[in-house]
Amino acid sequence: MIHRDLQPILLRWAGVYPVVTLTGPRQSGKTTLCRGAFPDKPYVSLEPLDTRSFALEDPRGFLDQYPHGAVLDEVQQTPSLLSYIQDLVDRDPRPGRFVLTGSQHFGLSGAVSQSLAGRTTILHLLPPSLGELRRFPSAPSDLTSTLFMGAYPRIHDQGIPPERWLGDYVTTYVQRDVRQVLKVGDLMSFTTFLRLCAGSTGQELNLSRLGADAGISQPTAKAWLSVLESSFLCFRLGPWHANLRKRIVKAPKLFFYDAGLVCHLLGIRSAQQLESHPLRGAIFETWAVSEAMKMHLHQGQETSAFHYREVSGLEVDLVLQESERTRLIEFKSGRTVDASWLKPLLAAKENLLAGSVGRVCEPILVYGGDQQQIRNGVRICPWDRLEALGPVLGP
């Protein structure tokens, strides 16, 4: 077990709220984190059918076993239990009584918002960030291996070959969650859709095209994508369009949270194969954008993250919007900086600053090399020094 950056945030809010809710993808380390952070609390998984039946059929009797609270894992399996937890914490609002975890964001967050509003905070745990990954003794040290292996903890903790573990992950967890959330009957079509989404990572989302390529309707593609998002496999990065004087493309971009999963879905079975793969740049961008998401979420902070593209073709991969500063970030997997990589950042900076008095706009290039420098006002950041993507202030 490695130390997770979210642990002090989890402990802090457990000292404030009677209930803390932790969500994230399956196998991201939620159970390990909670058991390590709260070693004195009873741990109960609601995955086994007998335990789940007890909680559903006799919720008061089930909760009476834990008068001082507990860690309740996979609580999305028993959403009706949350109403009884609400009653308990209303009568005894001691901080940190219950810690709830779950993997299906829509099912869990909907039940939590309905029953526990004002009584809980919701935190998100994704697979380890690069900084967390380095705490494993056998963590990859080069960029290609980092992209290929992904960040799911068991791959690095137990030395399981990523192509084997990720294959089992797709079969065991993704397909099961799909059945639970959407009752999809044709898993072959859904798997095809999933692979097509992986091939579209880092690109503007076109649901009509994805649906047509998968042989399904656009509404079905939209519903299936919502399942991938609810399972924390992928997310949409919205467009930045605050500058109304420019004609901005308003379509979101699609990203996966784990580059290793993308590699597996694309049929990449070795790090060497990734070196010359035509989607290497998109996979690198996917990894880097997900790193920004992880660094913010693991500090308990939401991200104001967008992509920027004008109709003219000018685009920047990531815009991080803050109260007094805007960071423009471009990602290139190459190991040698090319002057042409800086031009979109400088042009976008000029456009964004037009008419914005007092705003600071910082252009940043993250690339696959190892030299850190400032060139023409652009901060050039090696791939393994990603502090520029994280939150400006501490938690």
pLDDT tens-digit map of 193-231: 999 999 999 999 999 999 999 999 999 999 889 888 888
> Which pLDDT tens digit goes with each residue over 291-332?
999 999 999 988 889 999 988 889 999 999 887 789 999 999
Is the pLDDT score of 106 beyond 60? Answer: no
Helix (H) or strand (E) holding 220: helix 218-230
pLDDT for 107: 59
Backbone dihedral angles phi then psi of residue 157, each to the nearest 5 degrees: -75, -35
Confidence of residue 43 (pLDDT cuts 50, 70, 90): very high
Query: Hey, how many other C-beta atoms are within 10 angstroms of the C-beta on 230?
Result: 21
pLDDT for 183: 67
Bin 69: left if φ > 0, else alpha if -120 < ψ < 50, else beta.
left
Q: Beginning with the edge strand found earlier in the chain, give each strand of the sheet holding 120-124 in spatial order.
A: 43-45, 70-73, 98-102, 19-23, 120-124
Tell me which DSSP letter residue 280 carries.
Answer: H
Mean pLDDT of the chain: 90
Q: Where are the alpha helices (DSSP H) in 58-174?
A: 59-64, 81-91, 105-115, 130-133, 143-149, 153-157, 162-169
Q: Which domains does the chain have, with CATH numbers?
A: 7-124 (3.40.50.300), 140-280 (1.10.10.10), 305-389 (3.40.1350)
Q: By the 8 A CB rule, do 257 and 230 touch?
A: no
Is the pLDDT score of 152 beyond 80? Answer: yes
Backbone dihedral angles phi then psi of residue 63, each to the nearest 5 degrees: -75, -25
Q: Average of pLDDT values for 276-288?
A: 97
Q: Beginning with the edge strand found earlier in the chain, give each strand of the sheet holding 234-237 in spatial order.
A: 203-204, 253-256, 234-237
Distance of CA 152 to the CA centre of its chain: 12
The residues with which 318 forms a beta bridge, in sequence order, are: 329
Helix (H) or strand (E) holding 135: none
pLDDT for 281: 97
pLDDT for 245: 55
pLDDT, greater one: 173 or 280: 280
Identity (one letter) of the amino acid at 5?
Answer: D
Backbone dihedral angles phi then psi of residue 88, each to the nearest 5 degrees: -65, -45
Is the pLDDT score of 125 beyond 60? Answer: yes
Strand 19-23 and strand 120-124: the pairing is parallel
pLDDT, greater one: 113 or 275: 275
Q: Average of pLDDT values for 156-175?
A: 90
Q: Average of pLDDT values for 137-158?
A: 96
> Which pLDDT tens digit goes with each residue over 316-375?
999 998 877 899 999 999 999 999 999 999 999 988 887 565 678 999 999 999 999 999
Angle subtended at Cα 121 by Cα 120 and Cα 124, rounded to the nearest 5 degrees: 135
> Which pLDDT tens digit goes with each residue over 54-91?
999 999 999 999 999 999 999 988 989 999 999 999 99
Q: By the 8 A CB rule, do 330 and 365 touch?
A: yes
pLDDT for 394: 40
Q: Average of pLDDT values for 132-159?
A: 96
Location of structure tokens 């402990």: 11
Is the pLDDT score of 252 beyond 70? Answer: yes
Q: What is the pTM of this model?
A: 0.93
381 vs 372: CA distance, rounded Å: 5
